[in-house]
Amino acid sequence: MTATSEPPRNAVPDPGERGVFAPPSSFRMPWGQATDARIDASTLPDDIVLSVRDLTVAYRVRRGTVKAVRRISFDLRRGETLALIGESGSGKTTVALALVRLLVRAARITDGSVVYRRGARAVDVLRLGAAGLRHYRWNECAMVFQSALNALNPVIRVRDQFLDVAKAHGMTDRRAAEARALELLRLVQLDADRVAGSYPHELSGGMRQRVLIAMGLLLDPQVIILDEPTTALDILTQRTVIDLLRRLKGERQFALVLVSHDLALAAELADQVATVYAGRIVECGTVADMFYNPHHPYTLGLLNAVPTLSGDFRALDSVRGQPPDLIDLPPGCAFRPRCPFGTDECEATDPEVATVDPARSGVAGAGGHVVACLHADAVAKTFDRHASAARK
């Protein structure tokens, strides 16, 4: 792919002139280091910022190979949120870590591509060299980790942690970097001066989570990955974080990848929702598709396990059985041993992802509704009957 000219990302100007979100770094993206991207940028819609195809990740352990992520594909559009939902161990966090290449040593990305696009240029993140990857990880794509206390350095004040990130990515003006950090802390509704001078253990869980969100915004990335952003927070703090994320996304128009097992959080924040089971996306669609027109029995099971705030009281029904052993997956569909719709055909065939509505996109996250199930129509009819009975 031939690189074209692009204006450099200049240093932070006078805050009164353009605000704290002016591009902070003059370090240019080394596009030429990621040659032979598997997806040509010219074939992608203009609003796609991240295009993942057939991503496969495996962990090497003593018992064998853990197939943690299997042929996952999706598109992420500018200004939208894609939520990855599912049980613990389904592969959601592994997908998120693979997008920024922060997997542990035992993990290997064995196949696929992660194409990141800015303007008319695109690179395959999996082929980036050390310099390109260093730039991409915070300038272009930032990650807010699950445990805020563990993600922050316990022996360094919050101010210095911001300055370390800024210095590592080309912001040499300490005063400008500190002013930007304080402004971002105010943006996430914190007492900036007090929090900046504090150590992480002096802050509450909600405050630490907001510090991480502010740090993720430091270099104005196009993509932010949130791994369980409200885990272990009380209900009021969860509401504060949800409202904050919704407001920031509306103002900054960055794209979000939300990793969560909380369906309510996905309904609140997401535009697209993908159900992940045994390392695969088994269903993906809009929030309305997934919550009011599910076509996969696993999505249906997750919905049946969540209490509703309206309608009659009903017995909750958890997804029966246990997740499969990712070292020794069952033949055919991995959900077959737990599926109330399963047949002998399911044991012989591992269904591919197919579009529910031919008139819409057939790619997960691109506005379509896709599902990997041989009995998708029967699942949808069952949900319709349950929904009709609940309304009576």
pLDDT, greater one: 251 or 178: 178
User: What count of residues does the chain have?
Assistant: 392
**Is the pLDDT reported for residue 136 higher than 60?**
yes
pLDDT at position 310 is 58
pLDDT band (50, 70, 90) for residue 370: very high
pLDDT per position as a tens digit, 342-361: 899 999 989 999 999 887 77
Which residue in the block uniquely carries the two structure tokens 């040499």?
172
Residue 315 has pLDDT above 80, yes or no: no
What the chain holds in terms of domains, given with CATH numbers, is 34-270 (3.40.50.300), 287-391 (no CATH)
Asked if pLDDT for residue 148 goes beyond 90, the answer is no
**What type of residue is 137?**
R
Q: Are 95 and 72 a contacting pair, CB within 8 Å? A: yes
176-185, 246-255, 358-367: which has the highest mean pLDDT? Answer: 176-185
Strand arrangement, sheet containing 81-85: 141-144, 223-227, 255-259, 81-85, 272-277, 280-286, 370-371, 354-355
Phi, psi of 4 (to 5 degrees): -115, 165
CA angle 282, 379, 392 (to 5 degrees): 130
160, 187 Cβ separation under 8 angstroms: no
Nearest to 208 by CA among 147, 164, 269, 156: 147
Tens digit of pLDDT for each residue in 255-276? 999 999 888 889 888 999 999 9
CA dist 54 and 58 (Å) reads 13
User: Worst-scoring range by mean pLDDT, 34-43, 54-63, 213-222?
Assistant: 34-43
Q: Which residues have C-beta within 8 Å of that of residue 26, sequence separation ≥ 6?
A: 8, 9, 10, 11, 170
Q: What does the alpha-carbon distance between residue 122 and residue 39 come to, in Å, rounded to a whole number?
A: 8
For residue 60, the surrounding DSSP H or E stretch is: strand 48-61
DSSP code, position 303: H
Please identify which residue in the block is written with the tokens 């352990």: 61
Band the pLDDT of 40: cuts 50, 70, 90: low
Asked if residue 318 lies in contact with residue 305, where contact means CB atoms within 8 angstroms, the answer is yes
CA 55/CA 126 separation, integer angstroms: 10
Average pLDDT over the chain, rounded to an integer? 83
Evaluate if residue 365 carries a pLDDT over 90.
Answer: no
Residue type, 114: V
Please give the Cα distance from 168 to 99 (Å, whole number): 20
Residue 251 above 90 pLDDT?
no
In angstroms, the first-to-last Cα distance of the chain is 59
5: confidence class by pLDDT, cuts 50, 70, 90: very low
pLDDT band at 26 (very low <50, low <70, confident <90, very high): very low
Question: Are 49 and 118 contacting, i.e. CB atoms less than 8 angstroms apart?
Answer: yes
Which residues sit opposite 283 in a β-bridge?
275, 371
Q: What is the pLDDT of residues 69-79, one digit of tens each?
A: 999 999 999 99
**What b/e readout covers 154-189, taking b as 16+ CB neighbours within 10 angstroms?**
eeebbbebbbebbeebbbeeeebbbebbbebbebbe
pLDDT of 317 above 90: no
Lowest mean pLDDT among 18-22, 124-128, 156-160: 18-22
Q: What is the 3-state secondary structure (H, E, C) of 70-106?
A: EEEEEEEECCCEEEEECCCCCCHHHHHHHHCCCCCCC
pLDDT band (50, 70, 90) for residue 228: confident
pTM: 0.85
Asked if residues 241 and 207 have their Cβ atoms less than 8 Å apart, the reply is no
**Residues 326, 331, 334, 336: what is their CA dihedral angle, to the nearest 10 degrees?**
-140
Task: Examine the pLDDT at 16 and tell me if it is beyond 60.
Answer: no
Helix or strand or coil: residue 241? helix
Please, what sign has the CA dihedral across residues 54, 299, 327, 96? positive
Residue type, 26: S
HSE-up of 197 (CA within 13 Å, CB side)?
3
Six token digits for residue 99 = 């997008």
Quickly state the pLDDT bin for 314 (edges 50, 70, 90).
low
